[in-house]
């Protein structure tokens, strides 16, 4: 797992609090980017070593991520892992994303300055460049940047935190699916439509574009899950 090592040179209570927050942010970012695959076991010690910190702030971060259903503690060996996704759970996540993220986008419609629009165009250009190169990692990062640049504009902290929690759960599987398919097979996004609607201050158009964008991505993951579940029984039976 590629996690950015922290700078722990600062000391004091304030520094400890910052380290706790930074540890959480680093692990959460790794999950959203899919750098920890579903079903892969990780350990507190391993995470601490990757980050260059003691196990204590990692333990606190892991508790938060378990509460957010981004990690789970296995009952057998007490190791941590990213939960797997099945059709039932993905259906719930898709509905939750449709309830939260289009609303955030609509709330952002009245706050898009020229600088914001320029940044969104840059983010979308990075998305398109990653698609052209077949770079899944760059696609995941630039797509996240685009979405959360919009969500930050909404001024709705509760909805924003809900959206981030949903991405924590979806990210690992999204990376697996897109990595297997390759970026050339990803559907056309609705980013340009969103940017145009934000420029015009059209909240309903922004909402509709975001809803369509989410639906296409989640439908792609649902197709992958159904295909995998259809193949699994055949693999278990083995060759005749």
pLDDT at residue 134, rounded to an integer: 85
pLDDT at residue 78, rounded to an integer: 74
Phi and psi at 156, nearest 5°, equal -125, 85
> Domain 87-236 sits in which CATH superfamily?
GntR ligand-binding domain-like (1.20.120.530)
Phi and psi at 73, nearest 5°, equal -100, 120
Q: From CA 164, how far away is CA 155, in angstroms rounded?
A: 14
Q: Which stretches of the chain drop beneath a pLDDT of 50?
A: 1, 4-5, 8-13, 234-240
pLDDT at residue 185, rounded to an integer: 59
13-81 CATH: 1.10.10.10
Domains 13-81 and 87-236 share a fold: no
Quick one: CA dihedral 82, 176, 34, 219, positive or negative? negative
pLDDT at residue 126, rounded to an integer: 96
Q: From CA 31, how far away is CA 1, in angstroms rounded?
A: 10
pLDDT at residue 4, rounded to an integer: 46
Strands 80-81 and 41-42: antiparallel
Model pLDDT for residues 87-99, shown as the tens digit of each residue: 999 999 999 999 9
Quick one: CA dihedral 175, 178, 184, 189, positive or negative? negative
pLDDT at residue 184, rounded to an integer: 57
Give the start-to-end residue ranges of the domains of the chain.
Answer: 13-81, 87-236
């Amino acid at each position: 797992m590629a996690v950015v090592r922290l700078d722990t040179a600062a000391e004091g209570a304030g520094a400890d609090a910052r380290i706790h927050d930074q540890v959480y942010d680093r692990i959460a970012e790794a999950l959203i980017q899919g750098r920890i695959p579903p079903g892969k076991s990780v350990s507190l010690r391993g995470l601490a070593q990757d980050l260059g910190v003691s196990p204590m702030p990692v333990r606190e971060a892991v508790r938060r991520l378990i509460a957010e259903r981004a990690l789970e503690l296995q009952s057998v060996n007490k190791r941590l892992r990213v939960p797997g996704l099945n059709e039932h759970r993905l259906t719930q996540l898709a509905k939750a994303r449709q309830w939260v993220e289009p609303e955030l986008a609509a709330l952002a419609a009245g706050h898009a300055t020229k600088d914001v629009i320029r940044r969104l165009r840059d983010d979308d250009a990075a998305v398109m460049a990653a698609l052209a190169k077949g770079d899944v990692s760059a696609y995941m990062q630039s797509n996240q940047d685009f979405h959360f640049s919009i969500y930050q504009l909404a001024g709705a902290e509760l909805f924003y935190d809900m959206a981030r929690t949903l991405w924590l759960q979806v990210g690992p599987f999204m990376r697996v699916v897109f990595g297997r398919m390759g970026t050339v097979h990803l559907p056309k996004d609705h980013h340009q439509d969103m940017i145009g609607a934000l420029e015009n201050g059209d909240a309903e158009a922004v909402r509709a574009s975001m809803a369509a964008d989410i639906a296409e991505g989640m439908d792609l993951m649902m197709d992958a899950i159904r295909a995998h579940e259809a193949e699994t029984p055949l693999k278990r039976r083995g060759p005749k």
